[in-house]
Amino acid sequence: MKTILFSILITTKNRREDLSLTLRKIQHLLQREDVECCIYDDGSIDDTFDFVKNNYPQIKLQRNENSKGYLYCRNVLLQHTTAAYAISLDDDAHFVTENPLESIKKYFTQNPNCAVIALRIFWGLNLPENRNCDEVAIPVQGFVGCGHVWRMDAWHSIVAYPEWFEFYGEEDFAAYHLFKKKWFVHYLPEVLVQHRVALQLRKNKTDYSSRLRNSLSSGWYLLFMFTPIYLIPRKFIFSVWKQVQLKIFKGDKMALKALLLAIFDLICALPKILKGSNRLSKKEFLLYQKLPKTKTYWTPNEVNLVENQ
């Protein structure tokens, strides 16, 4: 019986074309005996399920008839894999590095306190010509959902992702819990992932307001759940003020709507926040703040080829 070392986990919904491209890009990995791929279709109506079933019979496939949210799907995938390492990819993200699994395995072996590997991620539709990087692997505060790798022993040592967050913030939620358990997130620039997203166009999309709302509310959930109490009022007021100063005063009506709805979300979520809080001590918080920030966007040298935020 073959031993599964790596599990590639993808949650998807109504993005068959994006998923199809991702699977083509990682096809060589799916052929390895030590790799499994698990896809969770969260209620797609674009024939995503049948496409994967008919074209990739080796993939373990699950489906919700009605959407339950991508955090629900990610939790199920992580809870059921028996692999040592779980690679989480968005359906519109793929490895650029040719042999990423060897680098991942080697790094986990050499760094036993590393719980999650945060991969180097380029956000954009067109890769830059120069993909070289002089960054080195370091511990960081958190990781990005579109491309990271779990050591499954670490995942099982903490609570699952909070499904009531809906989306945004769950990675930091996990990172805080890991830090409390003396686990760390490490950034590994040796492995490059392309997240095929045009960031400049996101603000113009119809879901801009909902994305901003969820970004604000999840950030405040984390603030109230993990930050020492004496810092919460100042940080919360500053967060609100920056939205007013940078967006609302400049006539962004959608930002005003998102801000008010996020405040409403925070009030409604207070019972869950109080129940699930795992506050860092003052000492822990200061140590956490000394870690380098999460490496969200890798910027290559060719400025003219980069899609800025």
Total number of domains in the chain: 2
Question: What is the pLDDT confidence band of residue 304, given thresholds at 50, 70 and 90?
Answer: very low
- Regarding whether 172 and 23 lie in a shared domain, the answer is yes
- Regarding whether 103 and 22 lie in a shared domain, the answer is yes
User: How many other CB atoms are there within 10 angstroms of residue 146's CB atom?
Assistant: 21
Task: Classify residue 137: in a domain, yes or no.
Answer: yes
- For residue range 121-133, list pLDDT tens digits in order: 999 999 998 999 9
Mean of the pLDDT values across residues 242-263?
A: 95
Task: Classify residue 303: in a domain, yes or no.
Answer: no
Domain end marker among 199, 230, 246: 199
- For residue range 192-220, list pLDDT tens digits in order: 999 999 876 655 567 888 999 999 999 99
- Regarding whether 230 and 183 lie in a shared domain, the answer is no
In this structure, are residues 237 and 286 in contact, taking their beta carbons and an 8 Å threshold? no
Give me the CATH number covering residue 131: 3.90.550.10
- Regarding whether 229 and 139 lie in a shared domain, the answer is no
* Alpha-carbon radius of gyration of the chain: 20
Task: Classify residue 290: in a domain, yes or no.
Answer: no
Task: Classify residue 309: in a domain, yes or no.
Answer: no
- Regarding whether 220 and 151 lie in a shared domain, the answer is no
Task: Classify residue 308: in a domain, yes or no.
Answer: no
User: Does pLDDT of 168 surpass 60?
Assistant: yes
Task: Classify residue 301: in a domain, yes or no.
Answer: no
- Regarding whether 105 and 65 lie in a shared domain, the answer is yes
- Regarding whether 119 and 94 lie in a shared domain, the answer is yes
Q: What is the pLDDT of residue 303?
A: 45
- Regarding whether 258 and 179 lie in a shared domain, the answer is no
Domain hosting residue 226, numbered range: 201-279
Task: Report helix, strand or coil for 55.
Answer: helix
Task: Classify residue 40: in a domain, yes or no.
Answer: yes
Q: What is the pLDDT of residue 302?
A: 52
Task: Classify residue 29: in a domain, yes or no.
Answer: yes
Mean of the pLDDT values across residues 14-28?
A: 97
- Regarding whether 246 and 189 lie in a shared domain, the answer is no
- Regarding whether 143 and 270 lie in a shared domain, the answer is no
Domain end marker among 199, 217, 249: 199
The enclosing H or E element of 90 equals strand 85-90
Task: Report helix, strand or coil for 64.
Answer: coil
- Regarding whether 253 and 175 lie in a shared domain, the answer is no
CA-CA-CA-CA torsion sign (16, 211, 272, 223) = positive
- Regarding whether 239 and 146 lie in a shared domain, the answer is no
